[in-house]
Structure 1
Amino acid sequence: MSTGNGGISAEAIDRKLRSERILQAEGVPFLAALPVIETTAEALKRSKEEVALRTLGLLFVAAKGEGLEEELVERLLETYELRPHLTPKELAFVLDNSPSQHDRIQFTWRHEAAWTLLWALGFVAQLGKPDQICDVEFAAKTMAERTISEFIDDSELRPIADILDQADLIYRYHWAVRNARTKGQQGLDPGVTEERHHALNWLIGYGEQMWDQVTTHT
């Protein structure tokens, strides 16, 4: 995680301390030595359109993971003109007529990443503690009830400072999840936490990584 140009900014330290206070109030352990993350000046400012299209792509592959009929998959792929907006891994999965159970499960989890981006776009009011799975039906409806242009028009990207607040917090939640593997669970959902971390790291441009290559280090 970035610490800026040699010194650590007050903004980044303040964000870290706010996250730690939230974790403390929830009884979630944290590592004070975990570094700060990017500042508003350093983070990537993605466009509303880019985030909206990524969200639609995630909702689409998650629906396929859940067992959406092949005929419907092909129709949606054309209706929403999603092909150019899917990653290589996503497109390979979508075009696979008999994906493995492992791949289906992995892509079904993308609902959680999509939920995170739906929050960033203003469709979801708050993310909250990553301790339960998202409202899949609501997430799917945000796509099903709109054309691609309506979805983009109805989106309102949150300020980068708010997105960074969540990116910093999920970074520390994820440390707690990984720490809990050896010290007992803390009521957090590892899958939800992982997907949110992936989505938020992509949003802020962590490591300048493409979606398929995004890492979630703690």
Structure 2
Amino acid sequence: MMKRYVFLALLPLLSCQGQQPADSPTRVGVPVEHVVATKDQQARRAQSEAYCKAHGVPYYKNPTAMLTDSEAEATLRTQDEVVDRALALCFIGLKSEGMSLTQLAEIDRAYHISPKLTPNERAYVTAPHPTEQQQADANWRYEGLHVLLWAVGYVPALAYPDRMCEVASDVKIIHDLSEAQFRARAKLRSKKEILDQADLILRLDWACTEARLKKQPAPGGLSSDAVVERHHALNWLMQYGDQEWDDVSTDT
């Protein structure tokens, strides 16, 4: 795992020591078969499979299984929910970098962070001596932040997940704006755009999971950790299983 460094003009911060994130709740099995796909599901699947093929990533080939929700069925998180979650993830990431309690308290006040934290995040923030795993999990949430910044229009595109996101650039987006400005300039992407990415990450994570079960490296040069964190964020965005952030599963 690579070390990551965040350099902000006022906040030079050192990242965690390459620890892997804890496994997300994941159920691995044979996907439900014989699903009657809608036209948009079929088109989305074909687009994702073409992407996988172009990057040398194997994909689940049954055309009547492993589908994300159709546009008619899916209900996305609201724009304000996404903004709040992005701010919380940024805060959690900054804490994982070793930022001082004084600086964290200032950010908490400026962005009203405390009410935005989940129970697990609150436990981490208030722990007098967080475990290495808690630190690593918090640091890896930067990948989820990257997805949410994309979802509300601050990141133009989600690149092929073969490496870590550019943490410094993402944190700077929030660092340079007040909470009110960050919220006002956000614009939630269309349901189609988000479902397209959710379908794609499902297939990329399936390929990574299959490789892991066979004790093989992730195909296509994928970063399996970045993939699963992206999967977590996208499943939360589309309210997969009506699960809240701490409980989101990344089933393949």
Aligned to 1:165: 196
Q: Bigger CA drift: 208-217 or 175-184?
A: 175-184
Listed as ranges, the matches of 1:184-195 within 5 Å are 184-186=217-219, 187-195=221-229
- What is the distance in 2 between the residues matched to 1:175 and 1:188? 12
Unpaired segments of 5 or more residues in structure 2? 1-30
Query: How high is the sequence identity, in percent, across the aligned residues?
Result: 37
Matches within 5 A, 1:86-165: 86-165=117-196
**Cα deviation code 1:62-110 (max 9, x no counterpart):** 1111111122112211221111111000111111232112111110000
Contact kept, 8 Å, 2:111 with 2:178, in 1: the verdict is: yes
> Which has a greater percent of helix?
1
1:142: how far off? 1.1
CA distance in 2: counterparts of 1:95 and 1:72, whole angstroms: 15
Checking the alignment, whether the CA contact within 8 Å between 2:108 and 2:114 is kept in structure 1 is yes
| 1:26 and 2:55 correspond | yes
Alignment length (residue pairs): 216
2:41/2:70 contact within 8 Å kept? yes
Cα shift at 1:46: 2.1
Query: 3-state SS of the aligned residue for 1:184?
Result: coil
Aligned residue for 1:38?
Answer: 69
Q: Secondary structure at 1:74's aligned position in 2? A: helix
The alignment's TM-score, normalised by the length of structure 1, stands at 0.94
Report if the CA contact (8 A) 1:61-1:108 is conserved.
yes
| Deviation of the 1:175 alpha carbon | 0.6
| Partner in structure 2 of residue 13 of structure 1 | 42
Distance 1:170 1:56 in 2: 23
Letter in 1 for 2:125: V
- Contact (CA 8 Å) 2:218, 2:224: kept in 1 or not? no
Matches of 2:187 and 2:138 in 1, distance apart?
A: 26
SS in 1 for 2:37: coil
> Hey, what's the Cα distance between the residues in 1 that align with 2:59 and 2:32?
19
One-letter identity of the residue aligned with 2:206: W
Partners of 1:45 and 1:215 in 2: CA distance = 16
**Separation of aligned partners in 1, 2:80 and 2:32:** 26
Note if contact 1:2-1:37 (Cα within 8 Å) is conserved in structure 2.
no
- Is the partner of 2:236 in helix, strand or coil? helix
Alignment of 1:217 onto 2:217 = no
Moved over 3 A (4+): none
Normalised by the size of structure 2, how large is the TM-score? 0.82
Change (3 A) 1:67 1:30: same
**What corresponds to 1:72 in structure 2?**
103
Helix, strand or coil at the partner of 1:46: coil
CA contact (8 A) 2:152 2:189 kept: yes
Equivalence for 1:83: 114
* Structure 2 counterpart of 1:179: 210
Distance in 2 of aligned mates of 1:163 and 1:104:
29
User: Following TM superposition, by how much is the alpha carbon of 1:2 offset from its aligned partner in structure 2, in angstroms?
Assistant: 9.0
Q: CA deviation at 1:51?
A: 0.5
Moved more, 204-213 or 29-38: 29-38
